[in-house]
Structure formats: structure tokens, C-alpha cells
Amino acid sequence: MSRYLKLAAALFRYSLTRELMFKANFILWILVELAWFGIQLSLVEVIFAHVREIAGWNKYEMILLIGVSHAIQQLFQFIFMVNCIELPDNVRTGRLDFALLQPANSQFLVSVRKFDPGALINSSIGLAFAAYAVWNLNLRPTVFQLALFAALILNGIMIHYALMLMIVTLSFWIVRAQGLVYGYYNLFQITRIPKDAFKGAVKLFFTFGLPMLIVANYPAEALARGLRWDDILWATALTIAMLFLASRWFRFGLRFYTSASS
């Protein structure tokens, strides 16, 4: 484990150095993400100028949910997103050979070869707005609640990673899978909606089939309303199962990789 942590730290330093070589682009993308987040908060203000709640969530609970969702999305982008987007092209061109020939786990190298440092800064903006919402809700979370919140944040990131890894693994059979990747990226917006706003088959699908409603709703609820232990255990078991299946699926896909030299 220490070896892989050192390797991840070295890869992060390399990514940070690469990004800082183009400082204007680095700062611009941070500003773009900040502006996009500001637009979403402005939309919340407009909506709550006409209604008192959405599916039982008041204005500051919605700000908490959106802030948490933004933080999870940006943390996922910081670690995994760039690598997942590049995998289909690496498979198609044979550049995946460089990861497979290294003396380290292939899935690890494929998943964290590049980091997006700007996304780490953007995640802190989402957490800052979540803290602002907690303050206005007059909540005083305990150390245990904060630890549970952090664990559920990690859980949400891993759900995104498992789902994205399953999707990009299809690139071993599909020539260009980027369309599927960006299609999933658009589904991130669902995590900003209270799960109680969904009903029937749609709620079941986005809870069990494609569990987007677990990603941000559970961490936000853990702070704002409290979360039942059965929900916590269910979310944890689901994430572990998804990570296991995603890893097995990726290893199965590698059998069909022809490489650049074959």
C-alpha cells in the first residue's frame, strides 16, 4: 500500500507541474467551474423565491445538497475523470501498452495516471457552500457525523468511479466509447436532486440500477437530517460490490486488448 501511495504522490506532482506550465489555462478552468456553480446557486435562489421547499427540502438544505454534489463531482474529476476519458483512445491507439508493461497494477495506473489539480480547488468551493448551508441551518454536527459525512463522500466518489470504469471498459469492444463517457458525465446533474423528488420505477432505477441518488443525497442527509444505519450499510455494501464487479469487468476486457504491436 505504501508503494502505491508513493507512486500516486509522484504522479500528482507530475500532474501539478504539467498544469502550472500553463497557468492561464489552469486559472481559467477554475473560474469557469466557479461560474457554473454560481449559476446553479442562482437557480436555487430563483426557485425558492416562488416555493418554500422541493420534495421536503428547504433552500439551505438544497444548497447543502448542491455543494456536496459539486464537491464529489470535482473530487472524482481530480482523481479519475481525465484517465477514464483517455482510456478509449489509449485502447484504440495502443498507448495502453505503457500502463500494462509497468511493474504495477494495471487498473491502478489506468485510473490515476493523471490528476486534475484544478478540480481539487473547485471541490473546496463546493464544501465551503455546504459549510455555509450547515451554518444557516443551525446544525452543529458532532465529530462522528463529520467522520460519517467524509466516509459517505468517499463512498460517492467510488460509486462514480465504479460506474465510469464499467463504461470505459466497453472500449475494448467499441471503437470509440467517448460518447458513453460524456453521456454518463451528464448524469451527474441527477445527484443534485433530492431523492424524494423521484417516484416509482425511476427512483428504483437511480437507487439500485444506476445509484446516482446515493452519491450526494446520503452525505447531505447525514448532516442535515441524520441517516439510518441500514441505509449506511446498504450504501457501503453496494459500493464494495460495484468496485469488485468493475475490477473484474476491466480484467475481463483486457483479454480482448490487441496492443499496438499485435
* Angstrom distances, CA of residue 124 to CA of 5, 161, 207: 22, 20, 27
Helical (H) or strand (E) element with 1 = none
- For 121, counting Cβ atoms within 10 Å of its Cβ (0-12 exposed, 13-18 middle, 19+ buried), the class is middle
Tell me whether residue 260 is in a domain.
Answer: no
Distance CA 232, CA 164 (A): 22
Tell me whether residue 157 is in a domain.
Answer: yes
The confidence score (pLDDT) of residue 262 equals 55
The letter for the amino acid at 148 is L
Instruction: Tell me what percent of the residues of the chain surpass a pLDDT of 90.
Output: 23
Tell me whether residue 199 is in a domain.
Answer: yes
pLDDT band at 260 (very low <50, low <70, confident <90, very high): low
Domain extent, residue 190, equals 2-254
pLDDT band at 219 (very low <50, low <70, confident <90, very high): very high
- When divided into structural domains, the chain yields a total of 1
Tell me whether residue 89 is in a domain.
Answer: yes
Tell me whether residue 262 is in a domain.
Answer: no
pLDDT tens, position by position, 3-20: 878 888 888 887 778 777
Tell me whether residue 167 is in a domain.
Answer: yes
pLDDT tens, position by position, 98-113: 888 888 888 988 888 8
Are the beta carbons of 220 and 54 closer than 8 angstroms?
Answer: no
* 79: DSSP letter: I
Tell me whether residue 10 is in a domain.
Answer: yes
Paired strand residues for 54:
57
Which range, 45-49, 174-178, 180-184, 221-225, has the best average confidence (pLDDT)? 221-225
pLDDT tens, position by position, 71-93: 999 999 899 988 888 888 888 88
Q: What cell was used for 135?
A: 451554518
* Angstrom distances, CA of residue 134 to CA of 93, 107, 174, 175: 48, 37, 45, 46
Tell me whether residue 259 is in a domain.
Answer: no
